Amino acid sequence: MFAIVSHKTKQYKVETGKTYRFDLIEDIVEKKIKFDEVLLVSDEKSVKIGEPLVKGASVEAEILGDVKADKVTVLKFHAKKHYKRVNGHRQNYTEIKISSINA
Query: Helices (H) and strands (E) in the chain — how many of each?
Result: 0, 10
**Could you tell me what percentage of the chain is helix, strand and coil, using 3-state DSSP and rounding each to the nearest 5?**
0, 65, 35
The domain containing residue 70 runs over which residues?
2-102
Domains contained in the chain, number: 1
pLDDT, residue 48, reads 93
Residues 6 or more apart in contact with residue 27 via CB below 8 angstroms: none
Alpha helices, H only, 33-85: none
Q: What is the mean pLDDT of residues 1-6?
A: 95
More confident call, 103 vs 67: 67
Per-residue pLDDT reduced to its tens digit, 12-68: 999 999 999 999 988 888 899 999 999 999 988 999 999 999 999 999 999 999 999
Considering the entire predicted model, what is its pTM? 0.81
Q: Is the pLDDT of residue 103 over 90?
A: no
The one-letter code for the residue type at 5 is V
